[in-house]
Structure 1
């Protein structure tokens, strides 16, 4: 029995999250069924990180123990032939059984895409977040700078979060703007339930002038979720990849930093762009 790792891309607005549910309308349900069809029998999938309803992924990492031998092309093209258009297997890679999609990971990358304009988007509905009031770029970047490092993120975790500890280490929190499109990039060892959506909500509050950038410090030290901003919509959130030690030789290390097909990443006109680590 060999262990197979898959890179999975999906549009989360078509599903009710990653984790399997009795109703079967989750990403895990459809991918499990498709892989099982290629294997000729049932398989169990393990993912790097569960995504919520409406959250997308350019590279979710999953593994399963294959009960039969198949060429990599079968695990990719064969599985894709059984999947809806909103899900695709990007690649397949064989590893030994000591690999674990969740526990072998060293970092996760997420990007939140925000459309900041008076009128909500139509063509990108469900694929970007939206906020109607102007945001101050310098204030947002100054607030994001305060997030890097190891902190107790209790003020940014959901009440239903099952993590044993609220302490996480953020490697970077970058803010880049392309005209009306804002890109919030986060990399950390792991994230709490709703953590990124809660962070984006707080950054938007700072950007619209409700609080100064120093408010982020107060939230981190206060550890009180009720004092922070509301949870932002899932529409613009993307799992953009997971990092693993080089010894696994996963394609791109399992990591793709941005959603490459979305038009705001490559705007038609020269962008006004500033970013900071």
Structure 2
């Protein structure tokens, strides 16, 4: 019988690949340290773009087979990160990728046509209750999800935020769905973020290296999208530099969505661990633990949480 890890982390993401982009290095670090890492993915990513020409037949408007393929990509990515506990909310296929379109202002909004069982249409209590079952089973001390805007407005990211936040509340209520197990209150909840200052450093490195196309339109000295946060908004930075290659391998595993000559790898080549192996977070529930005097940020998501 395996022993329950003393520290346990739960991540709630919308589609396969979101987890590797946002927190892949943190996941790899904590998994290697023997901490519990559980990923809940809310959809199969059925509406994603396909960057591999020979797999274009899987597109939603053709064979509609991208979801099962991305399920396999996710399994491969988790193997790269060393994460063994990854699940789909309510079981694979319960909720479908809602798709999106771009607003003229540059952020995502819901698509014009949305499938009946799209995650965006999910009943919030029903979806959150699926998560309650996971929370009460795993009993995580830390939860990570998106901010209220889903980072850049994607409807599934916004819905994942809602489900994660509501699910955490319901899981802590002893009288709610006793059949799903003993109530569990999550000690700390974080929203994924990206440091504005770190990002500007990365963009300057790209531009200084002569790269004017990666993240085209983003000015190192100009306005940035809202998921880049000022340093005063950041509460924790996990430095997982030794695990950078694991994160990059996980990104490569999501081959239908991410190309090895795309912006993520261009940025990692120029900034390395500074850009990709140091991941930032905003603490939105719980008490901040010990911080690094140099930054004023925690260096561990479990800071201040006793093991148990």
TM-score where L is the length of structure 2: 0.28
TM-score where L is the length of structure 1: 0.30
Structure richer in helix, relative to its length: 2
Structure richer in strand, relative to its length: 1
